[in-house]
Amino acid sequence: MSTVDRAPASTRLAQDLRRSVMRLGRRLRQMHEENLGLTANQLSLLGVLVKLGPSTVGDLAEVEKVQPPAITRTVKALESLGLAERTADPEDGRRSVVATTERGRGIVLADRRRRDRWLVKRLAELSPEERRVLAEAAPVLLKLADA
Amino acid sequence: MSTVDRAPASTRLAQDLRRSVMRLGRRLRQMHEENLGLTANQLSLLGVLVKLGPSTVGDLAEVEKVQPPAITRTVKALESLGLAERTADPEDGRRSVVATTERGRGIVLADRRRRDRWLVKRLAELSPEERRVLAEAAPVLLKLADA
DNA sequence: CCTTGTCGTTAACCACGTTAAAGATTAACA
DNA sequence: TGTTAATCTTTAACGTGGTTAACGACAAGG
């Protein structure tokens, strides 16, 4: 790791942090993939729908940082699985409003619980001191991400 | 956030940590996308090659947690861009060994510096106390990811 | 009204993952 | 040693999900 060893001290933290966050993030994301027939994308969009409530295609595209056609396609898939529904906006005929079905909502919540269980188990293997460090770090990480 | 509010205390840390790590990870990954004509995947594979040195297709597949055909294709793309080279293993004719070119290596290092610069800037906006917390947290996050 | 802008969808394309099957080479063993 | 079995990579066929471009439906302003 010569690139790391000879790094100026000021970038050392950045490198360590990037490595650790990327790796744990990848791991958490992998937990996703083995869900029912759902892909990570479909699950992610469903999650947004649960969080925001019924939304237009444009809103979803913006949140997912994706172009509208990508949303159209994924919504179509969710619809055919009975996990989401599309209805015309009564106030503006151009827009179509997407919402989760009850089943869709249930899947999102179940998936979230499942991933939390995995992480809870890993956290339980740490020392109280290590857990304290993570608890302090979480809000700082959020602040970084939103900067 | 009723789902968070009524969560048992033991899963509260897991939820906070998952949210923050996922979000920062996404942010760091996005920094990737706007690089030369290279996709995130190609850059990632090139990075592995720089880290490990010349490697077989099978090794790369394992590291990237992907099936061999996916590696074959990406290597082909890197090859046509002059960033990687493939040679037959002299000791085992079935294997082909992939290595970066000088240019490929340069691109990886430049990209890493660019992403670190972004993070260094964000870190500089934090308080010394917050930076200390992150420095302590990084190794714990790694431990979690590798668990 | 009628033109102009906006929202969503469709179509065509590309990146990248998968599995299945074929090719080449090595390893094992009768 | 020669045949058979195992291993590594590649090719082929397919699915998902991103993109841009072009079109249709509706809304809004002149």
Nucleotides of C under 7 A from a protein CB: 5-12, 15-20, 23-27
What CATH topology corresponds to B3-146? Arc Repressor Mutant, subunit A (1.10.10)
- Write the pLDDT tens digit of every residue in B119-128: 999 999 999 9
B32: pLDDT confidence band, cut at 50, 70 and 90? low
A120 contact residues in B (CB cutoff 8 A):
10-11, 14
Residue B22 in this model has a pLDDT that exceeds 90: no
Residue A65 to residue A142: CA distance in whole angstroms: 18
Q: Once rounded to an integer, what is the mean pLDDT over residues A19-45? A: 80
Q: How much of chain A exceeds pLDDT 90, in percent?
A: 65
The pTM score is 0.81
Place of tokens 């790391």: A4
Residue with more model confidence, A105 or A146? A105
Interface test with B, best of A6, A21, A118 (most B CBs within 10 A): A21
Residue B4 in this model has a pLDDT that exceeds 80: no
CA–CA distances in Å: residue A70 to residues A48, A74, A75, B40, B97:
15, 6, 9, 19, 37
Looking at residue A2, what is its pLDDT?
A: 46
Average pLDDT, chain B: 89
Residue A129 in this model has a pLDDT that exceeds 80: yes
Facing residues of B55 across strands? B98
- Helix, strand and coil content of chain A, in percent to the nearest 5, comes to 70, 10, 20
Determine phi and psi for B95, rounding to 5 degrees. Answer: -85, 145
Q: Which DSSP string do the residues of A65-128 spell out, in sequence order?
A: TS-HHHHHHHHHHHHHTTSEEEEE-TT-TT-EEEEE-HHHHHHHHHHHHHHHHHHHHHHHTS-H
Question: B40-52 and B102-124 helices cross at what angle (nearest 10)?
Answer: 100
Question: B68-80 and B40-52 helices cross at what angle (nearest 10)?
Answer: 90
Asked if strand C contacts B39 at the CB level, meaning under 7 A, the answer is yes
- Write the pLDDT tens digit of every residue in A69-103: 999 999 999 999 999 999 999 999 999 999 999 99
What are the boundaries of each domain within chain A? 3-146
Q: Which of A21-30, A113-122, B102-111 has the lowest mean pLDDT?
A: A21-30
A48 contact residues in B (CB cutoff 8 A):
none
Looking at residue A43, what is its pLDDT?
A: 92
Q: Which two tokens stand for residue B127?
A: 């308080």
Looking at residue B6, what is its pLDDT?
A: 57
Q: Once rounded to an integer, what is the mean pLDDT over residues B8-14? A: 80
3-state secondary structure of B103: helix
Residue A34 in this model has a pLDDT that exceeds 70: no
Instruction: List CB contacts of A25: < 8 A, sequence separation 6 or more.
Output: B21, B22, B24, B25, B26, B29
Q: How many helices (H) and strands (E) does chain B have?
A: 7, 3
